[in-house]
């Protein structure tokens, strides 16, 4: 890796801090000459998952029917929880950093 590329990697490392989700990583690197592209990070095996966060969303049956209407794909992402009597969706989000 060249000195110029190492400086770009360090710039991105400083921008990312303790990790960003993939959409934010794309935003930070898109057409930005001061940082390496995602493909370059992968080529040098520098991209790593620093943490995974789980987000839990809940809706009542009525709320879910109003929210998703007839969109079966969206509806299928929700699971019924008998104990809470609500639909639940859990999403895991990867946060990326630089090795």
- Beta-carbon count within 10 A of 10 CB: 12
Place of tokens 């921008």: 15
Average pLDDT over residues 61-70: 75
Q: Which residue has the higher pLDDT, 5 or 75?
A: 5
Q: What is the pLDDT, as a whole number, of residue 70?
A: 57
Write the pLDDT tens digit of every residue in 11-58: 999 999 999 999 999 999 999 999 999 999 999 999 999 999 999 999
Q: What is the pLDDT, as a whole number, of residue 69?
A: 63
- Pairing label, strands 47-59, 86-98: antiparallel
pTM of the model: 0.80
């Amino acid at each position: 890796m060249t000195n110029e590329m190492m400086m770009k990697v360090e710039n991105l490392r400083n921008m990312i801090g303790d990790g960003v989700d993939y959409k934010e990583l794309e935003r930070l690197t898109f057409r930005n000459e001061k940082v390496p592209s995602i493909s370059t990070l992968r080529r040098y095996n520098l991209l790593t998952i620093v943490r995974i966060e789980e987000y839990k969303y809940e809706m009542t049956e009525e709320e879910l029917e109003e929210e998703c209407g007839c969109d079966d794909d969206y509806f299928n992402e929700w699971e019924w929880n008998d104990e809470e009597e609500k639909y639940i969706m859990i999403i895991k989000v990867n946060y990326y950093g630089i090795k």
